[in-house]
Chain A
Amino acid sequence: MIFEAAQSLLAPSALLAVFIGTVAGIIVGGMPGLTATMAVALLIPVTYALHPLTGLVLMGGVYCGAMYGGSIPAILLRTPGTPAAVATAMEGYPLTQQGRGGLALKVSVISSFVGGTFSTLVLLLTAPLLAIFALKFGPPEYFLLAILGLVGIVSLAEEGKLLKALISGVLGLAIAVIGTDPISGNLRYTMGMRELFDGVSFMPALIGMFSITEMLKLTGASHIVHETVDVKSIKREPMPKGLGKFIGLGSCVGTLVGILPGEGATIAAFISYNLARQHSKNRRLFGKGNPEGIAAAESGNNGCVGGSLVPTLTLGIPGNSVAAALLGGLLIHGMIPGPELFTKHGVITYGFILSMFLANLIFLGIGLFFAPYFARISLIPTSLLIPGVCLFSALGSYAMDGNIFDVYVMLGFAVLALVLEKGGFSLGALILGLILGPIAETGFAQGLIIGHGSLGVFFTRGPCQILWAVIVLLLVPPALQFYRNHVRQPIPAAD
């Protein structure tokens, strides 16, 4: 059946659909505010008129391309095209400032390719088995998964600023409680503003804190790249050695996190980034432009693509919002998720899965070929670049919900970010808290209800115990470091 599926994929219409979908996905992913979910949802009525395989591979191409595309503006402009690209921006943008944007883009596309291909392979070979694993996760496990993501705050902390990073993370979690109470449905801290009923939109907040803040900082520079770098030469650098283990790590984490319904590429990218930072020999380079961080984060978020389709295709439970839109595409063609998808509709389903290998190859080719040209964006004078980036940032913030209020949210968070940075707080930790807050709160509250008010529910279940073990293992090294720095050694007084 797989051979038959491969043959049907070789039809010119299917191949063209994969190519168009992937290119469109890269463009959509590269624009802050335009999401893969939006693009796939827009394609559903279009695909109705197409052959089911052509329609599905078109949507699959958009999904794969968009996940990679988010990293391009993140690396070049510190403007993450998707929330999953925040960790990539933290390492990629400093490399761009050093005139090594081409290398960052190359690491990003190769890691994305490996992560995406690995997760598609897992989807092809073990989908039904892994779907059972996804069903074992309940609210207590989701709460602990959010905690696992939040442990990343410890990694995001600069040396000597662990407490400030933790405060930033808790502040992010506190901002995330604004809106409707997930259990009672009551409104909290909305100050009567209708726009806050669904909480603070994190995409405008993210754009404000990363993109606008950076543009404000660039007002004093003529180019993104530092003046000391020869701005005329964007060199073609070879791939650094030793990235394989970080790409492998990100691919596995991304695939596993992607399988869990409701979890997303953002958590996968942060967990992978955190693990890479803890196990790197070049830990001091993190935050200053370390390709290892890009490799882990990008393979992590692209690893989610195949993973998120495991519960979608086998159980009809979408792994994330893009998978939910894809599910809509399946349903309009009369393809009901479950065993029949792999038997009765096997040719189309396997054709769709195989097309994702092709989509990964297409964005790899595009990414490698265009990386040096994309990198030249960093050579545009800031006098022309800043207004353009600001316009697309405002547009991206607005486009998410079609609300002017979100443009003000973007601006407000940009100002907040400047003040917090001046005080030595961590923006990465704050945004991580903001993203993971709703998952943590819902998991915690529902877990307590399941446990009849007892906290024991977070400790007695099997998956919870495994997650606790991972959390403790990740916390031990930084805790020891903190103890050595602040307790054992006397703190030197300032002049």
Chain B
Amino acid sequence: MNKRLVGPALLAGFLLLAVLLHRSTAGYPAFVQGSTASYVRFLAWSLGILCVADLVFSLRRRTAGAGEDETGGRNPRRFWSLLVLLAAYSWALGIFGFFASSLVFLPLTMAAMGSRRPLPIAGTTVGILIFVYIVFVQLLEVSLPEATLF
């Protein structure tokens, strides 16, 4: 989407969110209408008013959406590769467990990020996994994601 359109589009979305948030408070139990429901209505009104004010100022300045565009601007291929690999890793953690998923994720991501030498890739992968095993599993007894597939 055009960078100039992102700001107004988000503001319109938040305005809709404010309306929905306000309407949802009607479903709150009667005894919290004066407490938590009031708080949520206050948030809805604040969000709505601020969005309208910002839309007005944005239209006056015509500079809405002036945030820095760094989302893959410098290397879109690596940016999208990392995002896809992260999504796949999140999914794999629940299926294959932490160590099996990480053993694949780390070298694949290093290769995707431009690392070509096998020794640093293997060394870093093994080093990180040994560190996690010693500190997280042995010393702190933190439970890591376990495999559900096998």
A and B bind: yes
**A residues at B contact (CB < 8 Å):** 27-28, 31, 34, 38-39, 42, 163-164, 166-167, 170-171, 173-174, 177, 181-184, 186, 188-189, 212, 215-217, 219-221, 381-384, 386-388, 390-391, 394-395, 398-399, 402, 404, 407-408, 410-411, 414-415, 418-425, 440-441, 444-446, 448-449, 453, 486, 491-494
Q: Are A425 and B10 in contact (CB under 8 A)?
A: yes
Q: How far is the CB of B142 from chain A (nearest CB, A)?
A: 5
Known: A424-B65, A446-B35. 16 other contacts (CB 8 A): A38-B142, A42-B141, A167-B11, A174-B21, A174-B43, A186-B28, A186-B32, A189-B24, A212-B86, A216-B83, A382-B113, A384-B110, A394-B89, A395-B136, A418-B71, A449-B35
A53 to chain B, nearest CB (A): 23
Q: Mark B103-124, 1 if CB is under 8 A from A, else 0.
A: 0011001100111000011001
Taking a contact as CB atoms under 8 Å apart, the answer to whether A216 and B113 are in contact is no
In the bound complex, what is the Cα–Cα distance between A387 and B89 (angstroms)? 11
Which residue on B lies nearest to A447, using beta carbons? Answer: B35
A435 to B61, CA, bound (A): 32
Bound Cα distance from A408 to B91, whole angstroms? 8
CB atoms of A220 and B38 under 8 A apart: no
With contact pairs A174-B47, A216-B79, A444-B39 given, residues A42 and B109 touching in the complex (Cβ less than 8 Å): no
Given A219-B82, A394-B90, are A388 and B106 neighbors across the interface (CB < 8 Å)? yes
Q: What are the 10 A-B residue pairs with the smallest beta carbon separation, nearest first? A: A220-B74, A445-B35, A383-B115, A387-B109, A220-B75, A219-B78, A424-B67, A383-B113, A494-B62, A163-B54
What is the CB-to-nearest-CB distance from A289 to chain B, in angstroms, rounded to a whole number?
16
Residues of B within 8 Å of A188, CB to CB, are 24, 28
Q: How far is the CA of A114 from the CA of B72 in the complex (A)?
A: 41
- Bound together, the chains give a CA A391 to CA B89 distance in angstroms of 9
Question: B residues touching A (Cβ–Cβ < 8 Å)?
Answer: 3, 6-7, 9-11, 14, 17, 21, 24, 28-29, 31-32, 34-36, 38-40, 43-44, 46-47, 50-51, 53-54, 57, 60-75, 78-79, 81-83, 86-87, 89-90, 93-94, 98, 102, 105-106, 109-110, 113-115, 120-121, 124, 128, 132, 135-136, 140-145
Given A219-B78, A220-B74, A445-B36, the answer on whether A404 and B114 have CB atoms closer than 8 Å is no
Q: Is the CB of B110 within 8 A of A383?
A: yes
A404 and B17 alpha carbons, distance in the complex (Å)? 27
Look across to chain A and name the residue whose beta carbon is closest to the beta carbon of B129.
A391
Which one of A219, A404, A425 contacts B93 once the chains associate, using CB atoms below 8 Å?
A404
A181 contacts B54, CB within 8 Å? no
Asked if A167 and B50 sit within 8 Å, CB to CB, the answer is yes
B44 proximity list for chain A (CB < 8 A): 174
Q: List 20 A-B contacts (CB under 8 A).
A: A38-B140, A164-B54, A167-B50, A177-B39, A177-B43, A183-B32, A219-B75, A219-B113, A384-B121, A387-B109, A387-B113, A391-B132, A399-B142, A399-B143, A402-B143, A411-B86, A419-B6, A423-B65, A424-B65, A445-B32
CB distance B71 to A184 under 8 Å?
no
Complex contact A170–B50 (CB within 8 A):
yes
Q: How far is the CA of A34 from the CA of B131 in the complex (A)?
A: 14
Check B36–A183 contact: CB distance below 8 A: yes
Q: B109 touches which one: A39, A386, A398 (CB < 8 A)?
A: A386
